[in-house]
Amino acid sequence: MQLIFATHNQNKFNEVQKLLPAHIHLVSLTDIGCMEDIPETGNTLEENARLKADYVAKNYNLPCFADDTGLLVDALNGAPGVRSARYAGDRKSADANMEKLLFELKGRTDRSAKFKTIIALHLNNGCQFFEGTVQGEITLRQAGKGGFGYDPIFRPDGHLETFAELPIGAKNKISHRGKAIEQLVQYLKTKT
């Protein structure tokens, strides 16, 4: 089965590819010749995931899914949330986003946060949603070279390491994206 993952983010693509069974051939936006940066103008993660999936379904008529992920920090009333990728501006700089977040949390004792991923799947003219979350906390400084985005400053509950310090296999077993993809895979098993 071929399935389009509506992303240009190679790190995210590689991470998701490792989570899928071998019989699902994952294809990126670049692979299908879609070079557009699909606007994420929704007010929620659900809306943004659906916007991206709808765009691919409408313009390419192929089975596809899209995700949107947010980091929700309790002390910041859920920020950066839906603006996680552009928290420090429209350049989508992970380093700038982390610097801004660490600055916003300076001196705060409550550093609890969660990652939330929403997946929108377009298959057989229908749209299905899947959600994964992981609780944790924002560290005082960056640690680790793996992962991407906020991974160097997010420590999941029950672990001493940040997502960036964990091996990819260990991260995928507990991550928000891993949980949402697991639901997607289970759903696909009922449809293929």
d(CA 83, CA 96): 13
Residue type, 69: T
| Helix (H) or strand (E) run with residue 172 in it | helix 168-174
Q: Are the C-beta atoms of residues 40 and 98 closer than 8 Å to each other?
A: no
Q: Which residue among the candidates 31, 68, 74, 95 is catalytic per the annotation?
A: 68
d(CA 34, CA 32): 6
Question: Does 54 participate in catalysis according to the annotation?
Answer: no
| Helix (H) or strand (E) run with residue 184 in it | helix 176-191
Catalytic residues: 68
